[in-house]
Amino acid sequence: MSIAIYPGSFDPVTRGHLDIIKRAAAVFDRVVVCVMVNAAKADTLFTLEERRTLLELVTADMKTVTVDTYSGLLTEYARLYEKPVIIRGLRAITDFDYEFQISLVNKKLNPDVETLFLIAGGSYTYLSSSAVRELGRFGAGLGCFVPDAVARAIYGKFSRDAVPEHI
């Protein structure tokens, strides 16, 4: 059985992440989305458990996709599975720089792990969780960026009683 691990902060999950999850699910028998603690992104809007819950909600109809959390090294987490492939999404050349380095370090730490890059869907190349958080802070419509449940959760974080009509 082929297994993909899609790790990330997912603070919160966006339609760009979902596109990657769907495309990975079309290639692999099983996809494990792993919500991780990224020390460089310590000040998250959502807790690890909240991020997991939102991912479970928006992937509920994808039968081969499961969600997990891990606060250690990805290469250690990967040891839980037989020959897993790590999936990462690439939006721009700036992603490439970072991902290139991380994938080489991961290979050094755990030579059994391969990293596979999926190019972001054309309409999601500009989309990031940080932009979505910032838009949510100002009460902007989020419908084209995140699923409705995620938009509501974001507005909830900023204590906005009035959710825009077109979220």
Tell me how far, at minimum, the Cβ of 23 lies from ligand ADP, in Å: 10
- Residue 14 vs 106, nearer CB to ligand ADP: 14
- Residue 89 vs 136, nearer CB to ligand ADP: 89
166 part of the active site: no
CB 57 within 8 A of CB 152: no
Residue 85: how many other CB atoms lie within 10 Å = 19
Tell me how far, at minimum, the Cβ of 162 lies from ligand ADP, in Å: 27
Tell me how far, at minimum, the Cβ of 118 lies from ligand ADP, in Å: 7
For residue 68, the one-letter residue type is D
For residue 117, the one-letter residue type is F
* Cα–Cα dist 68/17, whole Å: 15
DSSP for 22-38 reads HHHHHHSSEEEEEEE--
Q: Is 79 helix (H, G, I), strand (E, B) or coil?
A: helix
Tell me how far, at minimum, the Cβ of 24 lies from ligand ADP, in Å: 11
23 part of the active site: no
Considering 15, 52, 129, 133, which one is annotated as catalytic?
129
* Cα–Cα dist 67/69, whole Å: 7
Considering 30, 91, 107, 137, which one is annotated as catalytic?
91
Please give the residue ranges that form the binding site for ligand ADP (CB under 6 A): 8-10, 14, 16-17, 20, 38, 41, 88-89, 91, 95, 120, 124, 127-129
- Residue 23 vs 30, nearer CB to ligand ADP: 23
Helices 48-58 and 148-157 cross at an angle (nearest 10°) of 160
- Catalytic residues, by residue number, are 17, 41, 91, 129
